[in-house]
Amino acid sequence: MLAPRLRELLCTTRDYARREGIQAELSLHRERSSLIRLGNSAVALSTSEELTRFDVKVQDGRRVGSYHVNSDLTSAEQLRDALNRAMEFCAASPENEYEPIFGLVEEDVDDSHGFDPALEALPPEEKIEVCAKVIEAIKPKGAYDFSGSWSSGSTEFYYTTTANDREAYRRLTDGKLVLTIQEQQHKWEIYNEQSGKGKAEFSADNAIMELERLLPIYESQPGYAPPLGNTRVIFGPQAIGELLMMTLWGGFVGRMYEEKQAYTSGKPFGEQLFSPLISITDDPGHPGVYGMPFDFNGMRRRRAFPLVGGGMFRGLIYDTRTAAKYGKTPTGHDGAIDLVLSTGDAPAGLDAAFSLTGDGLYIPFLHYVNMPEPSKGLMTGASRFNALRIVDGRPVAPIFSVRITDSVVTILSNTLAISSLPVFLDVSTTYERRSPQAVSVPEYLICDNVRISDTTESF
């Protein structure tokens, strides 16, 4: 549970608001973060931050106002000041056409699963030892520059509202280690990523094994520039994560659907959207995600929520504002989602994927993905690390950076096989605040007729 002093401040402020007849939602975000940044095989920067943020939203009928404070929170007066500022915004607001749905904690939540004190307190010295071991093992094999980063930390989320005395609390740890190698002459880039909820998820040996697996082919073969046009592609975990996020954003967000911007707009539940192999669920209880048991507009306990089952359209996510505007029921997705792309029945392991593919490209990472035409699901992004040409079921060469511009609908409809092995993939950001998020994706997805729209002769 939240530190008693902070909890007391929040409950005092909530009770004050209630006495004053103010409808208020109060939340707290605390983070302990640290990071090392590597470049040119050395650590260039080591950081640590401890931050506490108070977010308050007040509602008066059809008016809403909010205020956010990131400071040293030590007194009830500070929180009341923030509440009053939110009130000022609310009071000045014109009446909206619809009444927003006020937050409500349906049941008390006190959830610290996935919190590892050892990861929270992981000192930079230990991180650096791991990185040094990898560099020591790999660097003698060639002219390599190592870059990377290792972020780790803990996050606490606390939420309560004036609707009742219930409280929702979540504490977890997360970490992500990325190590890249660039070869100095040929400029190819390979990488290893490790992420997880606990310190035990990270190891130098895993990185060394993955990088050593790739080095022979990168060292022995020149880059290959695939021709423009359609080809068979094996997507790896990070690329699948990007596809999954684009699939969600372009097709399953209630606001996009209602406003006819989504590629699913106008389609009824039950319609076949993708290959029957594709099932997508938001599942906070899945072991392969961080798992957020509540969302940030007064939830409602979050439970498994199907979006696609057997390729068929099953659900849309509605935040409370969109739900209020369009007369829908909110689905528990105000700032919380734990996406799971179900595994298939294809054998685990990249050798199996290559064998199943025959001829094609292995693209484990898509860089800087965006959606030129969401209405058609059209996405674009570039291949990056660890990408290989596959011939007769074997990797034969690294590939230069290529661009894929194709519809996620087409890609997921042309899915031929899905690995049976799930992969935990961290997709967190730290813009403004630590926001742990992971998706569970299969180890690989084999898709036919993926369109290569641009090709280069550089990595």
CA distance 369 to 244: 11
Span 120-159, contacts to another protein by CB under 8 A: 123-125, 128-129, 131-132, 135, 145, 147-149, 151
Please list every residue from 262 through 321 that binds another protein, using CB under 8 A. 265-266, 321
Q: Is 364 in the site for another protein (CB under 8 A)?
A: no
Q: Which of residues 228-267 bind another protein (CB under 8 A)?
A: 259-261, 265-266
- Tell me: does residue 172 bind another protein (CB under 8 A): no
Min separation Cβ 353 and another protein, Å:
23
Q: Which of 32, 301, 376, 394 binds another protein (CB under 8 A)?
A: 376
Residue 227 within binding range of another protein, rule CB under 8 A:
no
Q: State the nearest-atom distance from the C-beta of 350 to another protein, in Å.
A: 21
Question: Taking CB under 8 A as the rule, does residue 182 contact another protein?
Answer: yes
For position 45 contacting another protein by CB under 8 A, the verdict is: yes
Query: Is residue 429 close enough to count as binding another protein by CB under 8 A?
Result: yes
Residue 375 interacting with another protein (CB under 8 A): yes
* Contact set for another protein, span 94-113 (CB under 8 A): 94, 96-98
Q: Which of residues 11-40 bind another protein (CB under 8 A)?
A: 33-40
State the nearest-atom distance from the C-beta of 9 to another protein, in Å: 15
Q: Are strands 280-282 and 339-341 parallel, antiparallel or unpaired?
A: antiparallel
Query: Which stretch in 18-26, 103-111, 351-359, 377-385 sits in contact with another protein by CB under 8 A?
Result: 377-385
Any residues with CB less than 8 A from the CB of 320 and at least 6 apart, and which?
A: 100, 101, 103, 297, 298, 330, 334
**Assigned token pair, 386:** 């660890």
Q: Which residues share a beta bridge with 177?
A: 150, 194
Binding status of residue 188 toward another protein by CB under 8 A: no
Task: Determine the Cα–Cα distance for residues 272 and 269; give it in Å rounded to an integer.
Answer: 9
- Considering only the stretches 92-100, 165-173, 291-299, 348-356, report the one whose residues sit in contact with another protein under the rule CB under 8 A: 92-100
- Does position 77 interact with another protein (CB under 8 A)? The reply is no
Q: C-beta of 378: minimal distance to another protein in Å?
A: 7
Q: Residues 120, 126, 132, CA angle at the centre, nearest 5°?
A: 140
Cβ 249 to another protein, closest distance in Å?
12
Q: Are 68 and 86 in contact (CB under 8 A)?
A: no
Tell me the closest approach of the beta carbon of residue 388 to another protein, in angstroms. 16
How many CB atoms are closer than 10 A to CB 430? 15
Angstrom distance (rounded) from CA 116 to CA 96: 44
- Does position 456 interact with another protein (CB under 8 A)? The reply is yes
Q: Of 351 and 454, which CB lies nearer to another protein in the complex structure?
A: 454
Q: Minimum CB separation from another protein for residue 128, in Å?
A: 5
Helix axes 4-19, 76-92, angle to 10 degrees: 40
Q: Which of 203, 430, 448, 449 binds another protein (CB under 8 A)?
A: 430
Q: Which of 18, 85, 166, 186 contacts another protein by CB under 8 A?
A: 85
Return the residue of 89, 315, 420, 448 that touches another protein, per CB under 8 A. 89
- 458 interacts with another protein by CB under 8 A: yes
- Of the pair 248, 417, the CB lying nearest another protein is at 248
Name the residue nearer to another protein (CB basis): 246 or 412.
Answer: 246
CA gap 426, 212 in Å, rounded: 23
Part of the chain binding another protein (CB under 8 A), chosen from 5-13, 78-86, 202-210, 213-221: 78-86
Counting residues that bind another protein (by CB under 8 A) gives: 97
From 211-219, 412-420, 427-435, 442-450, give the range in contact with another protein by CB under 8 A.
Answer: 427-435
Q: Could you say whether residue 67 binds another protein (CB under 8 A)?
A: yes
